[in-house]
Amino acid sequence: MRHTVSELVLKNGARGLLVYVPTAEVMTFEISFRAGEYLVDPKKWEVPHLMEHVLLGANELIPRARDFQAELEKNGAYSNASTGVYDITYEAECADFEWDRILELMLVAISKPLFLRDEFTAESGNVREELAARGNNHFRHLSLALRKEYGFLARTDQERLKLMKNVKLKDIREHYEKTHRTGNMRFVIAGNITPGRAPQIEEMLERISLSRGRRFALPDERPHLLEKPLYLKNSTVKNIYFYADTFLKRRLDDAEADALNLINTVLTETLHSKVLGKARERGLVYGMSSGVNEAKLCSGWWIGAQVSPKNALPLADIIVEELSKIFDGELPAEDIDAAKQYALGRFQRSAQTVGGTASGYSERYFFDGTIDDYYQIPKRIREITKTRIVDITRELFADGVWGLGALGNCGQDFAVELQSRLTPLWNKR
């Protein structure tokens, strides 16, 4: 959607982005605090998650959670919240005609929660149900277990369920007081933010009833090599779920990230891609994926799939074969051009809504304060070169920090064999 963006720095220390979409008929709000699990005692891992659940409930204005939700949703508005290792983010979307009412309700909920004991008890039950449901997602279970094994701050949902008993209501109140301060607050607000509305939004955010505080730094996380594969036995799973990760001991710049994201398109994102396409032609796998992730001090690339044991090793051979070709510069110009066209189309589709446009800014802005130039992204995609793709792919495998995780009933020995099939990727660098 056509839009303009400006950064708003408030006197109370909060800062964020106003995304003006002239044609918008809805307004979206994302308000985030650096308040995730890395800031609590590991034995009380669920404190931020439970706090997020209870916060959008009873408050000084409406002292009952169901009544608050009824008031917020009465004209079709939507609200939600999410907790991660680093941040807690509260979000809402509403019709344009009631944007100020919804923003005021969100700010009251965030700044004047009551944290009632009965709601804490109820939401503890709801969180247990949520974690139990998530625990059935085998890809998620494996991903979290692998992150922990590499040395990142992570817990599986199964571990989190066991830790819930350690969380008391006072822990939630203390974590709220520590983290929910204006200096630690970031926001992205998108919609028809006319010149007349912008000062009103600024005034509402400026008078939020929170102490000033400071912005917490991200944790220093450095992954290490896994000498042996992580194997999670699950006798109910007949296929193998696997992820292979490789890490770079530094952050990517934008050009490198663009090139690496294009590699995902080349390898796995379409049915004619190099790895997935070839595997599908041979009847080896239904689907697979790959991706880029970044932390404060490092970057990573992963590839994974769910595959039957008899097809897992041939699939690994295809991964090695196709990545080796990229290492050797065997990447035809027509394949790069096709991947660019796909990436451009996907970018255009991602920005069809106000919420999609806002999300295009919020993830990076909340992470490191960077304001991406949205209108330069197509140019950045077009400027990706073969040399840049080959160089960053080679470098990703050069540091020798990598690992493999497998979940299923294949046995440790099979996981070791799967790892050995992939090992040449790092030995070549």
* Every domain of the chain and the residues it spans: 4-206, 230-427
CA-nearest of 180, 183, 206, 214 to 59 is 180
Instruction: State yes or no: pLDDT of 236 exceeds 90.
Output: yes
Mean pLDDT of 311-332: 96
Q: Which residues of 205-237 are buried (b: 16+ CB within 10 A; e: fewer)?
A: beebebeebebbebeebebeebeebbbbeeeee
Instruction: Note the pLDDT of residue 428.
Output: 60
Mean pLDDT of 79-97: 97
pTM score: 0.94
Kindly report the average pLDDT of the chain as a whole number: 95
Instruction: State yes or no: pLDDT of 351 exceeds 80.
Output: no
> Does residue 75 sit in helix, strand or coil?
coil
**In angstroms, rounded to a whole number, what is the distance separating the alpha carbons of residues 385 and 348?**
21
Identical fold between 4-206 and 230-427: yes
Instruction: Note the pLDDT of residue 2.
Output: 87
Mean pLDDT of 211-224: 96
CATH architecture, domain defined by 4-206: 2-Layer Sandwich (3.30)
Q: What is the DSSP letter of 215?
A: P
**In angstroms, rounded to a whole number, what is the distance separating the alpha carbons of residues 336 and 323?**
14
Q: Is 151 left (phi over 0), alpha (psi -120 to 50) or beta?
A: left
Instruction: Note the pLDDT of residue 23.
Output: 87
Q: What is the DSSP letter of 353?
A: S
Give the DSSP letter string of 231-274. Answer: EEE-TT--SEEEEEEEEESS---HHHHHHHHHHHHHHTSSTTSH
**In angstroms, rounded to a whole number, what is the distance separating the alpha carbons of residues 19 and 23?**
12
Tokens for 152, please give them. 């990142």
Mean pLDDT of 267-291: 94
Instruction: Note the pLDDT of residue 206.
Output: 97
Mean pLDDT of 152-177: 97
Instruction: Note the pLDDT of residue 284.
Output: 97
Instruction: State yes or no: pLDDT of 143 exceeds 60.
Output: yes
Give residue 14's pLDDT band: very low, low, confident or very high (50, 70, 90).
Answer: very high
Pair 267, 336: CB distance under 8 Å: no
Residues with Cβ within 8 Å of 93's Cβ and at least 6 positions away in sequence, in order, are 26, 27, 28, 29, 77, 78, 79, 354, 355
Instruction: State yes or no: pLDDT of 1 exceeds 80.
Output: no
Instruction: State yes or no: pLDDT of 177 exceeds 80.
Output: yes
Q: Is 9 left (phi over 0), alpha (psi -120 to 50) or beta?
A: beta
HEC string of 51-65 equals HHHHHCCCECCCCCH
Mean pLDDT of 50-64: 94
Tokens for 395, please give them. 């470098």
- Beta bridge pairs of residue 403: 245
Residues with Cβ within 8 Å of 328's Cβ and at least 6 positions away in sequence, in order, are none
Instruction: Note the pLDDT of residue 117.
Output: 96
Give residue 243's pLDDT band: very low, low, confident or very high (50, 70, 90).
Answer: very high
Pair 113, 176: CB distance under 8 Å: yes
Give residue 369's pLDDT band: very low, low, confident or very high (50, 70, 90).
Answer: very high
230-427 classified as CATH 3.30.830.10: yes
Mean pLDDT of 53-57: 93
Instruction: State yes or no: pLDDT of 28 exceeds 60.
Output: yes
Mean pLDDT of 400-406: 97
Give residue 89's pLDDT band: very low, low, confident or very high (50, 70, 90).
Answer: very high
Mean pLDDT of 334-350: 90
Number of residues that make up the chain: 429
